[in-house]
Amino acid sequence: MADDSFIKDPAARLDYSWDWSKWLAEVADTIASATVLVPLGLTQVGVPVVGDKVVTQRVEGGVLDSVYTLVCQITTAGGLIDERSIHLTIADR
């Protein structure tokens, strides 16, 4: 992941994505399923959308000046499990 930190306005409802393409190429595998853990204080809107090599989750909310960590865990078709994090800092934009 090139950039894992973002600034989000507390009123925004936005999509955040995890690009697994490089790692999946290294292990010659594909995404079978994904789970996104959204911490208390943020609201998960819908379920994660699993694309070919990208997982996207829509979130809203957050308290000003707080930092939240979203965790995406995937299971591959070959049975591997891995996870990556995105950090959201809540600030007026």
CATH number at residue 45: 2.60.40
Displacement of CA 91 from its chain's centroid (Å)? 19
Q: Give the range of the structural domain holding residue 31, as residue numbers without chain letter.
A: 5-90
Looking at residue 2, its pLDDT comes to 47
Looking at residue 1, its pLDDT comes to 41
Average pLDDT, the chain: 96
Q: How confident is the model at residue 77 (pLDDT cuts 50, 70, 90)?
A: very high
Query: What pTM was computed for the model?
Result: 0.92
- The torsion defined by the Cα of 4, 8, 13 and 19, in degrees rounded to 10, comes to -10
What is the number of domains present in the chain? 1
One-letter identity of residue 76: T
